[in-house]
Structure 1
C-alpha cells in the first residue's frame, strides 16, 4: 500500500507530494526536503527540487492551466493543489517560518484533501489541530533520514496509515469548534486594520503579548494555556 492506486494515478511515482516554489525560507524547508528525497521518493511539482515535468491533464483542467510556473492569481491554484494532494498518501507541509501560531494552507490543504501532512512549522501546532494524531510531526525525528524511514513504514502498513485519519470519523473537539467559531467571527474584521493597529501600538511601547491577548479576547478566541 505504498500508493493510492487507481486508474488515474499512473503519473504518481512516490507516496509523497511536494509543491514548493519559494526555495529560500527561514525554516530551511528546501534543504530539509532535498535531504529527505535521498531516502524516500517524493514527487515534486514546484520550482524547488522539481522532478515532475508537467501536471496531470485532469489537474490542469481543474485549475485552468497546465503550466507549473504560472502566477497564482492567474488560475485556480487551490483547487488544483487540493485535487492533486488527494491522490497522495502524504503531502509536505513545511511552513516558511517556524513561528508560534503561524499556520497556513500548507497544513489545512492536506487535511482537507485527505492526505497526511508532513509538518514542520508552528511550535504550538497542537493548539490548532482538529485531532491528536493526524500529522507526521518532523520535530520527532533527529534527521530527514529518520523521518524517511518512518514514512516508509507508515506507507506500507494500512492500519498504521489509517490511524492518521481516524479523527475524520468522530465529532470535532470542543477546542477545534472554538477555532472554527473564531475564524467565522474574524470575517467581520479587516486583517489589514488589525495588523496596522497592532503595529502602531507596539511602536508606542505596548508589549506584543498584551496586544495579542486583547485582540484574541475581543474575538472570543478559543482558550489555551499559553499565548505567545
Structure 2
C-alpha cells in the first residue's frame, strides 16, 4: 500500500460534489519536476508471446475449464487458429475430468460457493490443477480453503507460475496495438475519472475528494455522469482529456489493471494510485505516469497538472516515450485459457504443489 493510501482511511465518505476532505496526506517528496530521458528502458516482466511457432514434439494435452469465470459461459477458442498455440484441447465438459491433463479453476466461483472444487476422488496422479484469479488480495476471500490443492498459479502477478497481466508494452511492430504519436496540442478536458464500483472506504474515493478541491475532475460511470453517446468506450472518452485517474480499488503487488492501460491507449497521462512507483516502473518508463506518492500534498499535485496543461512542451515529457511502443491487452478469458494450456503442455512430467497460496498472494 502506498504512502498516501495508508493515511487516507479517515477521509470524507460521500459521493461526488457533496463534500470535501480536509488536510494533506502526501508525505513522499516532490520528485516529478524532472523526467528521465527514455534511454535504455527495457520491457520487463513480459509474458511469453502467443505467436505461431513450429509444432513441438510434446504430446497433445486436454485442459478442462472447470468454472467459466463469474458463471458467464463463453465459447471456447481454437488455440491454434486464434493464438498459434498447438497441441491444446480445451473443454468445459466435466465428464472429461478423469482424463484431463489439467483443470482450470476460477477462484471467485469456488470461494463464493457458486461452484465446488473438482473431486479429489478419481483425480489422476498426473493431473494439474491451475488456480486462476485476477482480483486483488483485498477481494480474494477464503484462500485458506485452497492450501495444498493446486499445482500452478495464474494471475496478474509477475511471479505467478503462469503470468499474464491486464496489459503490457511491446515493441511497436510486435503483437500489440501501436500507440498513437503524442500530440503537442492540449486537449479540451483536464482530468477524467471513470468509476463504477464506488466504495466510500476506498483510498481512491478519499483521493478524489481531495483533488476535486483544487481542480475540476469529470467523473463518469455509475458513480458519475454517463459516458456521452457517440464516444462508445472509456478509451474514446479519455482521448478528450490530458490526464486520467487510474486509481485501483486496492493497493497490492503488481495489481495494475485496465485502468492504467486504457489511459495509455487513449494517449492521456495516467495519474496512478496503486502499488509503489517502482512496481509501475517494471511495466512502464518512469515518465509515462504520475504517481500520487510523488507529491507532498494533493494541492501540489493539482498545481503540477495545471502547470503541465499550460506548458505543452513540458507535458510532452510525459508522452514522448510512446514512440516505438505498442500495447497488448489480453482478451478475457480466451487468451488466458490458451496461455494456461500452453504452460500445461510445457510442464508435462513436472509437478509441484502450491503449499502457501495465501502467504504468496497476500505478500
Q: Fold conserved (TM > 0.5)?
A: yes
Q: Deviations over 1:126-171 (max 9, x none)?
A: 1111x22111111111222121111111111100111111111246
Q: TM-score, normalised by structure 1?
A: 0.61
Among 209, 220, 225, which residue is 1:45 paired with? 220
> Cα distance, 1:4 vs. partner?
1.2
Q: Distance in 1 between matches of 2:213 and 2:240?
A: 22
1:24 matched residue in structure 2: 199
1:132 equivalenced with 2:286 (yes/no): yes
Alpha-carbon RMSD: 3.4
Q: How does 1:4-153 map to 2 (within 5 A)?
A: 4-5=187-188, 14-24=189-199, 27-48=202-223, 50=224, 52=225, 54-59=226-231, 62=232, 80-123=233-276, 124-129=279-284, 131-153=285-307
CA contact (8 A) 1:15 1:41 kept: yes
**Secondary structure of 1:119's aligned partner:** strand
> Cα distance, 1:122 vs. partner?
1.7
Q: Deviations over 1:80-119 (max 9, x none)?
A: 0011011110110011111111110011110011111011
Runs of 4+ aligned structure 1 residues displaced above 2 Å come to 54-57, 184-187, 204-209
Unaligned 5+ segments in structure 2 are 1-183, 345-351
Instruction: Pick the structure with more strand per residue.
Output: 2
Instruction: Pick the structure with more helix per residue.
Output: 1
Unaligned 5+ segments in structure 1 are 6-13, 63-79, 194-199, 213-227
> Cα distance, 1:206 vs. partner?
7.0
What count of residue pairs does the alignment treat as equivalent? 164
Q: Distance in 2 between matches of 1:159 and 1:187?
A: 43
**Secondary structure of 1:101's aligned partner:** coil
Q: TM-score, normalised by structure 2?
A: 0.40
